[in-house]
Amino acid sequence: LREKLKDSAKRESGIRHVHVIGAGTMGGDIAAWCAARGLRVTLADLDHEIIAKAIGRAAEFYDKKLHSSIERRDALDRLIPDFEGAGVAKADLVIEAVVEKADVKRKVFDGIAPKMKEDAILATNTSSIPLEVLREGLAFPDRLVGLHFFNPVAKMELVEVVAHDQASQATLDRVHGFCGAIDRLPAAVKSAPGFLVNRALTPYLTEAFVMIDEGTPKETIDRAAEDFGMPMGPIELADRVGLDIGLDVVRMLKNNLDDPIPEIPAWLEKKVETGETGRKAGKGLYAYDDKGKPKRA
- Choosing from 25, 171, 202, 206, the residue that interacts with ligand NAI (CB under 6 A) is 25
Nearer to ligand NAI, 72 or 222 (CB): 222
Under the binding rule (CB under 6 A), the answer on residue 42 touching ligand NAI is no
- Choosing from 55, 97, 122, 252, the residue that interacts with ligand NAI (CB under 6 A) is 97
Q: Least distance in Å: CB of 291 to ligand NAI? A: 36
CA 102 vs. chain centroid, Å, equals 16
**Identified catalytic residue from 19, 148, 164, 176:** 148
For the question of residue 148 being annotated catalytic, the response is yes
With 0-12 CB in 10 A as exposed, 13-18 as middle and 19+ as buried, what is 33? Answer: buried
Q: Scan residues 248-267 and list those touching ligand NAI (CB under 6 A).
A: none
| Torsion, CA 109, CA 90, CA 171, CA 199, rounded to 10 | -50
Three-state DSSP class for residue 81:
strand
Stretch that binds ligand NAI, among 46-54, 114-122, 131-139, 227-235 (CB under 6 A): 46-54
Q: Scan residues 218-247 and list those touching ligand NAI (CB under 6 A).
A: 241-242, 245
Element (H, E) at 289: none
Site string for ligand NAI, 55-84 (x = CB under 6 A): ------------------------------
Alpha-carbon gap, residue 280 to 290, rounded angstroms? 11
Q: Least distance in Å: CB of 283 to ligand NAI? A: 36
DSSP string, 116-174: S-TT-EEEE--SS--HHHHTTT-S-GGGEEEEEE-SSTTT--EEEEEE-TTS-HHHHHH
Catalytic positions, please? 148
